Amino acid sequence: MTSKHRKTTQQDVDIWASPLGYDETMAASDYMNNQFLIAMPGMEDPNFSRSVTYVCQHNASGALGITINRSSDLTVGDVLEQLEIKIESPRWADEPVLIGGPVHQDRGFVLHNRSSDEWSSSFTVTPEIALTTSKDILEAMAQGSGPDQAILALGYAGWSAGQLESEILQNAWLHTSLDTQILFDSPLTERWHEAAAALGVDIDMLTGAAGHA
């Protein structure tokens, strides 16, 4: 979904892309789980130019992430209204809905901090972070409850087996550990620079041919 003119359906928010298979033959350190991918300045793909993507799952089968600094023309309130969820608290209503990536932009993903709450369709990324696609989390957010920190995104970024590793070797991406301040609190327009700065990098001084972290 990329337009206010398209009505969101419950299915948009309920469908969860099946988790990738786990391969015990590779060490967790070989993967980019729970890291930011920071697009190099020479990134030509318009879907990822100057983007920061949080990797939710990466293994031998491929990778799945949510881009965290590209806004759509929707707000959370728009989505709640279109799903006919009564907004009882204004807390989330004006927050932007992000474009999580080019894959399945008709599907909604809530990236949030974990708590004691249980959601009917949720994937644990780390003990602190989860990715949820069921309507119950949106209903809780509309009531002013639910997660303390959250991002609602449409679509996700996906890579086939070995594709992300190849792109990193080709210097398409920098990568660094998750910073929850950047993930949930930093202004969208500053996240690309801030994520790179966490590596001690002034990304404006890099070229497309620079190395990767």
Tell me, what CATH number does 189's domain have? 3.40.1740.10
114 domain-assigned: yes
Pairing, β 35-39 against β 71-75: unpaired
pLDDT at residue number 30: 60
Three-state secondary structure call for residue 185? helix
160 domain-assigned: yes
Instruction: Please tell me the chain's helix, strand, coil percentages from 3-state DSSP, rounded to the nearest 5.
Output: 25, 30, 50
How much is the average pLDDT of 84-106? 95
- In tens, the pLDDT along 183-197 reads 999 999 999 999 999
Tokens 């303390």 identify what position?
Answer: 148
- In tens, the pLDDT along 17-68 reads 344 433 333 334 568 999 999 999 999 999 999 999 999 999 999 999 999 9
Contact partners, residue 189, CB within 8 Å, separation at least 6: 69
Considering the chain, what is the average pLDDT of its residues? 85
Which CB contacts under 8 angstroms, 24+ apart, belong to 190-193?
191/52, 191/68, 191/69, 192/38, 192/39, 192/50, 192/51, 192/52, 192/69
166 domain-assigned: yes
Give the global pTM: 0.84
144 domain-assigned: yes
pLDDT surpassing 90 at residue 167:
yes
106 domain-assigned: yes
Q: Which domain holds residue 168?
A: 32-205
Query: How many domains is the chain built from?
Result: 1
pLDDT at residue number 206: 85
* Cβ neighbours of 171 (radius 10 Å): 16
pLDDT surpassing 80 at residue 11:
no
68 domain-assigned: yes
pLDDT at residue number 23: 36
10 domain-assigned: no
pLDDT at residue number 179: 97
pLDDT band at 207 (very low <50, low <70, confident <90, very high): low
pLDDT surpassing 90 at residue 213:
no
* DSSP per position, 78-102: HHHHHTT------TTTTSEEEE--S
75 domain-assigned: yes
